[in-house]
Amino acid sequence: MGISSANKISRRSALANGAMIAAGLAVGPLAARAQNLAPQANKARKITGRDSLKSHAAHHGLLAGTAVNVRALGAQPEYARVLAEQYDIVVAENAMKWGPLRPTPDTFFFTDADALMAFAAEHKMKVRGHNLCWHSQLPTWFASTVTKENAHRFLVDHITTVAGRYRGRIEAWDVVNEAVQVSDGRPDGLRNGPWMKLLGPEYIDLAFRTARQADSHALLTYNDYGVENSSEDATKKRAAVLALLRGMKARNTPLDALGIQSHIHTGGSFGAGIRDFMASARDLGLKIFLTEMDVNDSNLTYNDIARTDHAVAETYRDYLTTTLAEPAVTAVLTWGFTDRYTWLAGGFRGQSKHPQRPLPFDANYQPTEAFFAIRDAFDHRKTPRTAV
Ligand code: G3I
Protein backbone atom coordinates (compact mmCIF):
# COMPACT_ATOMS: atom_id res chain seq x y z
CA MET A 1 0.00 0.00 0.00
CA GLY A 2 1.40 3.42 -0.97
CA ILE A 3 2.01 6.20 1.56
CA SER A 4 -1.39 7.66 2.28
CA SER A 5 -2.17 11.02 0.75
CA ALA A 6 -2.54 12.41 4.26
CA ASN A 7 1.16 11.77 5.04
CA LYS A 8 2.16 13.14 1.67
CA ILE A 9 0.03 16.22 2.29
CA SER A 10 1.92 17.11 5.49
CA ARG A 11 5.30 16.56 3.82
CA ARG A 12 4.27 18.42 0.68
CA SER A 13 2.82 21.28 2.77
CA ALA A 14 6.18 21.70 4.46
CA LEU A 15 7.88 21.81 1.08
CA ALA A 16 5.31 24.26 -0.26
CA ASN A 17 5.68 26.45 2.79
CA GLY A 18 9.43 26.33 2.37
CA ALA A 19 9.05 27.48 -1.21
CA MET A 20 6.75 30.30 -0.20
CA ILE A 21 9.14 31.39 2.56
CA ALA A 22 11.97 31.42 0.03
CA ALA A 23 9.78 33.56 -2.20
CA GLY A 24 9.13 35.88 0.77
CA LEU A 25 5.44 35.05 0.52
CA ALA A 26 4.70 33.40 3.82
CA VAL A 27 5.67 34.13 7.45
CA GLY A 28 4.02 33.31 10.77
CA PRO A 29 2.38 29.91 11.37
CA LEU A 30 3.62 28.49 8.12
CA ALA A 31 1.08 25.82 7.33
CA ALA A 32 -1.99 27.86 8.13
CA ARG A 33 -0.79 31.15 6.66
CA ALA A 34 0.60 29.64 3.50
CA GLN A 35 -2.66 27.79 2.90
CA ASN A 36 -4.74 30.86 3.81
CA LEU A 37 -2.94 32.73 1.05
CA ALA A 38 -3.97 30.05 -1.40
CA PRO A 39 -7.51 31.32 -2.22
CA GLN A 40 -6.21 34.85 -2.89
CA ALA A 41 -3.24 33.57 -4.83
CA ASN A 42 -5.55 31.36 -6.87
CA LYS A 43 -7.64 34.33 -7.96
CA ALA A 44 -4.57 36.13 -9.27
CA ARG A 45 -3.33 33.25 -11.40
CA LYS A 46 -4.15 33.07 -15.13
CA ILE A 47 -6.53 30.24 -16.11
CA THR A 48 -7.88 31.11 -19.57
CA GLY A 49 -6.69 30.52 -23.11
CA ARG A 50 -3.34 28.72 -23.07
CA ASP A 51 -3.59 28.61 -19.25
CA SER A 52 -6.87 26.67 -19.37
CA LEU A 53 -7.27 23.05 -18.34
CA LYS A 54 -7.99 21.94 -21.92
CA SER A 55 -4.90 23.70 -23.25
CA HIS A 56 -2.58 22.11 -20.71
CA ALA A 57 -4.27 18.73 -21.21
CA ALA A 58 -3.89 18.84 -24.99
CA HIS A 59 -0.11 19.32 -24.65
CA HIS A 60 -0.03 15.90 -23.00
CA GLY A 61 -2.35 13.92 -25.24
CA LEU A 62 -5.45 14.43 -23.11
CA LEU A 63 -8.96 15.76 -23.44
CA ALA A 64 -10.11 17.73 -20.38
CA GLY A 65 -13.80 17.51 -19.60
CA THR A 66 -16.67 17.64 -17.18
CA ALA A 67 -20.18 16.44 -16.57
CA VAL A 68 -22.76 19.11 -17.38
CA ASN A 69 -25.89 20.10 -15.49
CA VAL A 70 -27.93 21.04 -18.54
CA ARG A 71 -30.44 23.12 -16.59
CA ALA A 72 -27.60 25.21 -15.12
CA LEU A 73 -26.08 25.54 -18.58
CA GLY A 74 -29.29 27.12 -19.84
CA ALA A 75 -29.85 29.33 -16.79
CA GLN A 76 -26.37 30.55 -15.74
CA PRO A 77 -24.23 32.54 -18.22
CA GLU A 78 -21.23 32.16 -15.87
CA TYR A 79 -21.65 28.38 -15.97
CA ALA A 80 -21.65 28.37 -19.77
CA ARG A 81 -18.66 30.73 -19.92
CA VAL A 82 -16.42 28.65 -17.70
CA LEU A 83 -17.53 25.44 -19.43
CA ALA A 84 -16.57 26.73 -22.87
CA GLU A 85 -13.34 28.28 -21.59
CA GLN A 86 -11.94 25.24 -19.81
CA TYR A 87 -13.12 22.02 -21.47
CA ASP A 88 -13.08 20.22 -24.81
CA ILE A 89 -15.17 17.19 -23.90
CA VAL A 90 -18.46 17.08 -22.00
CA VAL A 91 -20.97 14.52 -20.78
CA ALA A 92 -24.56 15.00 -19.60
CA GLU A 93 -24.73 14.44 -15.84
CA ASN A 94 -28.29 13.16 -16.19
CA ALA A 95 -29.95 14.18 -19.46
CA MET A 96 -28.99 11.06 -21.46
CA LYS A 97 -30.01 8.48 -18.86
CA TRP A 98 -33.09 6.27 -19.12
CA GLY A 99 -35.05 8.16 -16.44
CA PRO A 100 -34.75 11.67 -17.89
CA LEU A 101 -35.07 10.42 -21.49
CA ARG A 102 -38.10 8.20 -21.05
CA PRO A 103 -41.11 9.94 -19.46
CA THR A 104 -43.36 7.14 -20.69
CA PRO A 105 -42.80 3.70 -22.27
CA ASP A 106 -43.71 5.13 -25.68
CA THR A 107 -42.12 8.60 -25.60
CA PHE A 108 -38.63 10.14 -25.43
CA PHE A 109 -37.66 13.57 -24.01
CA PHE A 110 -34.57 14.73 -25.90
CA THR A 111 -34.78 18.49 -25.22
CA ASP A 112 -32.04 18.61 -22.58
CA ALA A 113 -29.75 16.15 -24.37
CA ASP A 114 -30.20 18.06 -27.62
CA ALA A 115 -29.35 21.32 -25.82
CA LEU A 116 -26.03 19.88 -24.66
CA MET A 117 -25.27 18.55 -28.13
CA ALA A 118 -25.98 21.99 -29.59
CA PHE A 119 -23.72 23.74 -27.06
CA ALA A 120 -20.94 21.23 -27.69
CA ALA A 121 -21.23 21.67 -31.46
CA GLU A 122 -21.16 25.47 -31.12
CA HIS A 123 -18.00 25.30 -29.02
CA LYS A 124 -16.37 22.44 -30.96
CA MET A 125 -16.43 20.14 -27.95
CA LYS A 126 -16.56 16.35 -28.05
CA VAL A 127 -19.39 14.60 -26.20
CA ARG A 128 -19.42 11.43 -24.08
CA GLY A 129 -22.79 9.67 -23.92
CA HIS A 130 -23.85 8.50 -20.47
CA ASN A 131 -25.41 5.94 -20.35
CA LEU A 132 -27.29 3.36 -22.40
CA CYS A 133 -27.78 0.67 -19.76
CA TRP A 134 -27.64 1.03 -15.96
CA HIS A 135 -29.37 -0.45 -12.93
CA SER A 136 -30.13 3.04 -11.54
CA GLN A 137 -32.17 6.08 -12.55
CA LEU A 138 -34.60 3.94 -14.55
CA PRO A 139 -37.99 5.50 -15.32
CA THR A 140 -40.71 5.17 -12.70
CA TRP A 141 -42.74 2.98 -15.12
CA PHE A 142 -39.86 0.55 -15.71
CA ALA A 143 -40.50 -2.04 -12.97
CA SER A 144 -44.21 -2.33 -13.77
CA THR A 145 -43.75 -2.40 -17.54
CA VAL A 146 -40.57 -4.26 -18.51
CA THR A 147 -40.78 -8.04 -18.22
CA LYS A 148 -38.57 -10.99 -19.13
CA GLU A 149 -40.60 -11.27 -22.31
CA ASN A 150 -40.19 -7.68 -23.53
CA ALA A 151 -36.90 -6.60 -21.90
CA HIS A 152 -34.82 -7.54 -24.95
CA ARG A 153 -37.00 -5.33 -27.15
CA PHE A 154 -36.94 -2.44 -24.67
CA LEU A 155 -33.15 -2.52 -24.42
CA VAL A 156 -32.56 -2.80 -28.16
CA ASP A 157 -35.14 -0.15 -29.02
CA HIS A 158 -33.73 2.28 -26.42
CA ILE A 159 -30.13 1.96 -27.56
CA THR A 160 -31.06 2.02 -31.24
CA THR A 161 -33.19 5.15 -30.78
CA VAL A 162 -30.80 7.10 -28.52
CA ALA A 163 -27.43 6.13 -30.03
CA GLY A 164 -28.98 6.34 -33.48
CA ARG A 165 -30.21 9.89 -32.86
CA TYR A 166 -26.66 11.10 -32.17
CA ARG A 167 -24.89 8.79 -34.62
CA GLY A 168 -21.47 10.17 -35.58
CA ARG A 169 -21.61 12.93 -32.95
CA ILE A 170 -20.72 10.99 -29.80
CA GLU A 171 -17.01 10.45 -29.05
CA ALA A 172 -17.72 7.60 -26.63
CA TRP A 173 -20.77 5.94 -25.11
CA ASP A 174 -20.94 4.49 -21.63
CA VAL A 175 -22.83 1.53 -23.00
CA VAL A 176 -23.13 -0.37 -19.72
CA ASN A 177 -22.57 1.40 -16.41
CA GLU A 178 -21.64 -0.29 -13.11
CA ALA A 179 -22.44 -3.91 -13.99
CA VAL A 180 -20.03 -5.28 -11.37
CA GLN A 181 -21.01 -5.62 -7.71
CA VAL A 182 -18.94 -8.33 -6.02
CA SER A 183 -20.99 -8.11 -2.82
CA ASP A 184 -24.04 -9.43 -4.70
CA GLY A 185 -22.35 -12.81 -4.46
CA ARG A 186 -22.48 -14.04 -8.05
CA PRO A 187 -19.48 -16.17 -9.06
CA ASP A 188 -18.81 -13.76 -11.93
CA GLY A 189 -18.98 -10.74 -9.59
CA LEU A 190 -21.72 -9.15 -11.67
CA ARG A 191 -24.46 -7.01 -10.14
CA ASN A 192 -27.82 -8.67 -9.65
CA GLY A 193 -29.67 -5.62 -10.97
CA PRO A 194 -32.86 -5.24 -13.03
CA TRP A 195 -31.22 -6.06 -16.38
CA MET A 196 -29.53 -9.16 -14.94
CA LYS A 197 -32.82 -10.36 -13.49
CA LEU A 198 -34.65 -9.75 -16.76
CA LEU A 199 -32.12 -11.00 -19.34
CA GLY A 200 -29.26 -12.73 -17.51
CA PRO A 201 -25.60 -11.72 -18.05
CA GLU A 202 -26.15 -11.72 -21.83
CA TYR A 203 -27.66 -8.23 -21.48
CA ILE A 204 -24.15 -6.79 -21.47
CA ASP A 205 -23.09 -8.20 -24.84
CA LEU A 206 -26.53 -7.35 -26.26
CA ALA A 207 -26.14 -3.72 -25.21
CA PHE A 208 -22.67 -3.39 -26.75
CA ARG A 209 -23.58 -5.16 -30.00
CA THR A 210 -26.70 -3.00 -30.37
CA ALA A 211 -24.71 0.17 -29.68
CA ARG A 212 -22.12 -0.73 -32.34
CA GLN A 213 -24.88 -1.23 -34.88
CA ALA A 214 -26.51 2.08 -33.92
CA ASP A 215 -23.29 4.12 -34.08
CA SER A 216 -20.11 2.65 -35.53
CA HIS A 217 -18.19 5.89 -34.72
CA ALA A 218 -18.58 6.01 -30.95
CA LEU A 219 -15.97 4.39 -28.70
CA LEU A 220 -17.99 1.78 -26.78
CA THR A 221 -17.07 2.04 -23.12
CA TYR A 222 -17.62 -0.04 -20.01
CA ASN A 223 -17.80 2.42 -17.07
CA ASP A 224 -17.50 1.64 -13.36
CA TYR A 225 -16.41 2.96 -9.95
CA GLY A 226 -14.65 1.62 -6.86
CA VAL A 227 -11.52 0.35 -8.63
CA GLU A 228 -9.24 3.26 -7.77
CA ASN A 229 -7.73 2.86 -4.32
CA SER A 230 -5.63 0.23 -2.59
CA SER A 231 -8.42 -1.29 -0.47
CA GLU A 232 -9.37 -4.97 -0.48
CA ASP A 233 -12.79 -4.15 -1.94
CA ALA A 234 -11.20 -2.26 -4.81
CA THR A 235 -8.81 -5.14 -5.43
CA LYS A 236 -11.73 -7.58 -5.66
CA LYS A 237 -13.67 -5.24 -7.94
CA ARG A 238 -10.70 -4.73 -10.28
CA ALA A 239 -10.41 -8.51 -10.67
CA ALA A 240 -14.12 -8.87 -11.47
CA VAL A 241 -14.10 -5.98 -13.96
CA LEU A 242 -11.05 -7.40 -15.71
CA ALA A 243 -12.73 -10.81 -15.92
CA LEU A 244 -15.77 -9.17 -17.52
CA LEU A 245 -13.64 -7.24 -20.03
CA ARG A 246 -11.54 -10.28 -20.92
CA GLY A 247 -14.70 -12.35 -21.44
CA MET A 248 -16.16 -9.69 -23.71
CA LYS A 249 -12.99 -9.59 -25.78
CA ALA A 250 -12.92 -13.40 -25.97
CA ARG A 251 -16.50 -13.31 -27.35
CA ASN A 252 -15.58 -10.56 -29.82
CA THR A 253 -18.08 -8.24 -28.18
CA PRO A 254 -17.45 -4.73 -29.56
CA LEU A 255 -15.62 -2.90 -26.74
CA ASP A 256 -13.22 0.03 -27.18
CA ALA A 257 -12.64 1.65 -23.80
CA LEU A 258 -12.74 1.38 -20.05
CA GLY A 259 -14.22 4.23 -18.04
CA ILE A 260 -12.81 4.59 -14.52
CA GLN A 261 -15.23 6.87 -12.71
CA SER A 262 -12.63 8.11 -10.18
CA HIS A 263 -14.97 9.18 -7.36
CA ILE A 264 -12.19 9.29 -4.78
CA HIS A 265 -11.83 10.45 -1.18
CA THR A 266 -9.31 12.70 0.56
CA GLY A 267 -6.53 10.59 2.01
CA GLY A 268 -7.00 7.85 -0.56
CA SER A 269 -4.05 5.67 -1.47
CA PHE A 270 -3.47 4.89 -5.14
CA GLY A 271 -0.71 2.52 -6.16
CA ALA A 272 0.15 -0.70 -7.96
CA GLY A 273 -3.46 -1.92 -7.96
CA ILE A 274 -4.84 0.79 -10.22
CA ARG A 275 -1.62 0.92 -12.25
CA ASP A 276 -1.68 -2.81 -13.01
CA PHE A 277 -5.43 -2.69 -13.66
CA MET A 278 -5.01 0.01 -16.29
CA ALA A 279 -2.06 -1.83 -17.88
CA SER A 280 -4.22 -4.96 -18.15
CA ALA A 281 -6.98 -2.95 -19.82
CA ARG A 282 -4.40 -1.51 -22.24
CA ASP A 283 -3.22 -5.04 -23.00
CA LEU A 284 -6.80 -5.75 -24.13
CA GLY A 285 -6.46 -2.90 -26.62
CA LEU A 286 -8.70 -0.54 -24.65
CA LYS A 287 -8.44 3.23 -24.29
CA ILE A 288 -8.97 4.47 -20.73
CA PHE A 289 -11.03 7.47 -19.66
CA LEU A 290 -11.17 8.94 -16.17
CA THR A 291 -14.86 9.66 -16.49
CA GLU A 292 -16.34 11.15 -13.27
CA MET A 293 -13.50 12.42 -11.13
CA ASP A 294 -14.22 14.24 -7.89
CA VAL A 295 -12.81 14.19 -4.37
CA ASN A 296 -15.21 13.52 -1.51
CA ASP A 297 -13.84 15.33 1.56
CA SER A 298 -16.47 14.10 4.03
CA ASN A 299 -13.84 12.08 5.89
CA LEU A 300 -11.94 15.23 6.94
CA THR A 301 -12.41 16.02 10.62
CA TYR A 302 -11.72 19.75 10.49
CA ASN A 303 -13.91 22.63 9.30
CA ASP A 304 -11.33 24.88 7.60
CA ILE A 305 -11.75 25.78 3.93
CA ALA A 306 -8.07 26.40 3.16
CA ARG A 307 -7.05 23.09 4.75
CA THR A 308 -9.91 21.26 3.05
CA ASP A 309 -8.98 22.72 -0.34
CA HIS A 310 -5.37 21.70 0.19
CA ALA A 311 -6.32 18.14 1.12
CA VAL A 312 -8.61 17.86 -1.91
CA ALA A 313 -5.95 19.29 -4.22
CA GLU A 314 -3.27 16.93 -2.95
CA THR A 315 -5.60 13.96 -3.43
CA TYR A 316 -6.16 15.00 -7.06
CA ARG A 317 -2.42 15.40 -7.49
CA ASP A 318 -1.65 11.97 -6.03
CA TYR A 319 -4.37 10.22 -8.03
CA LEU A 320 -3.52 11.87 -11.34
CA THR A 321 0.23 11.41 -10.88
CA THR A 322 -0.46 7.68 -10.64
CA THR A 323 -3.11 7.35 -13.34
CA LEU A 324 -1.74 9.72 -15.99
CA ALA A 325 1.46 7.67 -16.10
CA GLU A 326 -0.69 5.11 -17.95
CA PRO A 327 -0.35 5.90 -21.69
CA ALA A 328 -3.81 4.53 -22.53
CA VAL A 329 -5.49 7.34 -20.58
CA THR A 330 -6.75 9.84 -23.17
CA ALA A 331 -9.44 11.83 -21.36
CA VAL A 332 -9.94 13.19 -17.84
CA LEU A 333 -13.39 14.43 -16.83
CA THR A 334 -14.57 15.68 -13.46
CA TRP A 335 -18.12 15.02 -12.39
CA GLY A 336 -19.15 18.65 -12.64
CA PHE A 337 -16.74 21.57 -12.43
CA THR A 338 -18.27 23.88 -9.81
CA ASP A 339 -19.08 23.01 -6.20
CA ARG A 340 -22.35 24.84 -6.72
CA TYR A 341 -23.86 21.79 -8.45
CA THR A 342 -21.85 18.83 -7.17
CA TRP A 343 -23.85 15.68 -6.51
CA LEU A 344 -21.91 15.55 -3.22
CA ALA A 345 -23.63 18.77 -2.04
CA GLY A 346 -25.27 19.11 1.33
CA GLY A 347 -22.76 16.99 3.17
CA PHE A 348 -23.13 13.89 1.01
CA ARG A 349 -23.65 10.90 3.26
CA GLY A 350 -24.12 13.31 6.14
CA GLN A 351 -20.61 13.23 7.60
CA SER A 352 -19.25 16.47 6.14
CA LYS A 353 -18.34 19.21 8.60
CA HIS A 354 -18.81 21.75 5.81
CA PRO A 355 -20.27 22.00 2.28
CA GLN A 356 -18.22 19.71 0.10
CA ARG A 357 -15.49 21.31 -2.00
CA PRO A 358 -14.72 18.50 -4.49
CA LEU A 359 -14.29 20.33 -7.79
CA PRO A 360 -11.85 22.70 -9.59
CA PHE A 361 -14.18 25.71 -9.23
CA ASP A 362 -15.93 26.78 -6.05
CA ALA A 363 -19.62 27.72 -5.85
CA ASN A 364 -18.75 31.23 -7.09
CA TYR A 365 -16.89 29.93 -10.15
CA GLN A 366 -13.51 30.80 -8.63
CA PRO A 367 -10.67 28.33 -9.30
CA THR A 368 -9.73 26.34 -6.23
CA GLU A 369 -6.39 24.78 -5.34
CA ALA A 370 -7.76 21.64 -7.01
CA PHE A 371 -7.84 23.46 -10.36
CA PHE A 372 -4.11 24.11 -10.20
CA ALA A 373 -3.32 20.62 -8.87
CA ILE A 374 -5.17 19.07 -11.83
CA ARG A 375 -3.45 21.39 -14.30
CA ASP A 376 -0.06 20.69 -12.75
CA ALA A 377 -0.73 16.95 -12.99
CA PHE A 378 -1.38 17.35 -16.72
CA ASP A 379 1.90 19.27 -17.06
CA HIS A 380 3.89 16.67 -15.14
CA ARG A 381 2.43 13.68 -17.01
CA LYS A 382 5.32 11.26 -17.39
CA THR A 383 4.31 9.12 -20.33
CA PRO A 384 4.81 9.21 -24.08
CA ARG A 385 2.32 11.49 -25.88
CA THR A 386 -0.71 9.41 -26.98
CA ALA A 387 -2.93 10.07 -29.97
CA VAL A 388 -6.28 11.45 -28.85
O1 G3I B 1 -34.85 16.26 -12.23
C2 G3I B 1 -35.57 15.81 -11.07
C3 G3I B 1 -36.46 16.93 -10.55
O4 G3I B 1 -37.46 17.22 -11.53
C5 G3I B 1 -37.09 16.51 -9.23
O6 G3I B 1 -37.85 17.57 -8.70
C7 G3I B 1 -35.97 16.10 -8.26
C8 G3I B 1 -36.52 15.66 -6.91
O9 G3I B 1 -37.08 14.37 -7.07
O10 G3I B 1 -35.21 15.01 -8.80
C11 G3I B 1 -34.55 15.44 -10.00
O12 G3I B 1 -33.83 14.34 -10.51
C13 G3I B 1 -32.66 14.08 -9.77
C14 G3I B 1 -31.45 14.13 -10.74
O15 G3I B 1 -30.22 13.73 -10.09
C16 G3I B 1 -31.27 15.53 -11.32
O17 G3I B 1 -30.96 16.41 -10.30
C18 G3I B 1 -32.75 12.67 -9.19
O19 G3I B 1 -33.77 12.67 -8.19
C20 G3I B 1 -31.41 12.25 -8.57
O21 G3I B 1 -31.49 10.89 -8.18
C22 G3I B 1 -30.32 12.38 -9.62
O23 G3I B 1 -29.09 12.05 -9.00
C24 G3I B 1 -28.04 11.74 -9.95
C25 G3I B 1 -27.52 10.34 -9.64
O26 G3I B 1 -26.45 10.02 -10.56
C27 G3I B 1 -28.62 9.32 -9.80
O28 G3I B 1 -28.10 8.07 -9.38
C29 G3I B 1 -26.92 12.74 -9.81
O30 G3I B 1 -27.36 14.04 -10.20
C31 G3I B 1 -25.73 12.33 -10.67
O32 G3I B 1 -24.60 13.17 -10.41
C33 G3I B 1 -25.32 10.89 -10.37
O34 G3I B 1 -24.32 10.53 -11.27
C35 G3I B 1 -23.84 9.18 -11.14
C36 G3I B 1 -23.45 8.71 -12.52
O37 G3I B 1 -24.56 8.81 -13.39
C38 G3I B 1 -22.91 7.29 -12.47
N39 G3I B 1 -21.76 7.22 -11.55
C40 G3I B 1 -22.07 7.70 -10.19
C41 G3I B 1 -22.58 9.14 -10.26
C42 G3I B 1 -22.83 9.68 -8.85
O43 G3I B 1 -23.84 8.94 -8.24
pLDDT tens, the chain, 388 aa long: 333 444 444 444 444 444 443 333 333 334 434 443 455 666 668 999 999 999 999 999 999 999 999 999 999 999 999 999 999 999 999 999 999 999 999 999 999 999 999 999 999 999 999 999 999 999 999 999 999 999 999 999 999 999 999 999 999 999 999 999 999 999 999 999 999 999 999 999 999 999 999 999 999 999 999 999 999 999 999 999 999 999 999 999 999 999 999 999 999 999 999 999 999 999 999 999 999 999 999 999 888 999 999 999 999 999 999 999 999 999 999 999 999 999 998 545 456 667 789 999 999 999 999 999 999 999 999 865 544 4
pTM score, whole prediction: 0.90
Q: Which of 171, 90, 159 lies closest to 131 in space, CA to CA? A: 159
Cα angle: 153, vertex 155, 160; to 5 degrees: 95
CA dihedral 154, 155, 158, 161 (to 10 degrees): -110
Output b/e per residue, 348-378; b: 16+ Cβ within 10 A: beeebeebbbbbbbbeeeebbbbbbbbbbbb
∠ CA 269-270-275, nearest 5°, is: 165
Distance 19 CA to ligand 1 centre (A): 42
From the CA of 130, give the closest atom in ligand 1: 37
Q: How far apart are CA 321 and CA 235, in angstroms?
A: 20
Between the CA of 94 and the centroid of ligand 1 the distance, in Å, is 6
- Could you give phi then psi for residue 342, rounded to 5 degrees? -65, 140
> What residues are annotated to the active site?
178, 292
The closest of 344, 328, 347, 241 to 292, measured between CA atoms, is 344
Question: 194: Cβ–Cβ under 8 A, 6 or more apart, which residues?
Answer: 135, 138, 142, 143, 146
CB-CB contact of 106 with 68 (8 Å): no
Nearest CA to ligand 1 atom 41: 292
Taking the C-alpha atoms of residue 293 and residue 316, their distance in angstroms, rounded to an integer, is 9
State the alpha helices, DSSP H only, in the chain.
5-22, 30-44, 53-58, 70-75, 77-86, 98-101, 111-122, 142-145, 151-165, 194-199, 202-214, 232-250, 272-283, 305-323, 369-379
Mutate to test the pocket of ligand 1, among 111, 343, 348, 349 (most ligand atoms within 8 A of CB): 343
Distance 99 CA to ligand 1 centre (A): 9
Q: Ligand 1 centroid vs 132 CA: distance in angstroms?
A: 16
Residue closest by Cα to atom 15 of ligand 1: 94
**Pocket (CB within 6 angstroms of ligand 1):** 93-94, 136-137, 177, 225, 261, 292, 343
Among 111, 132, 137, the mutation site with the greatest number of ligand 1 atoms within 8 A of its Cβ is 137
β-pairing, 63-68 vs 126-130, is unpaired
Q: How many angstroms is it from 100 CA to the middle of ligand 1?
A: 9
Q: Identify the CA nearest to 31 among candidates 375, 311, 321, 362.
A: 311
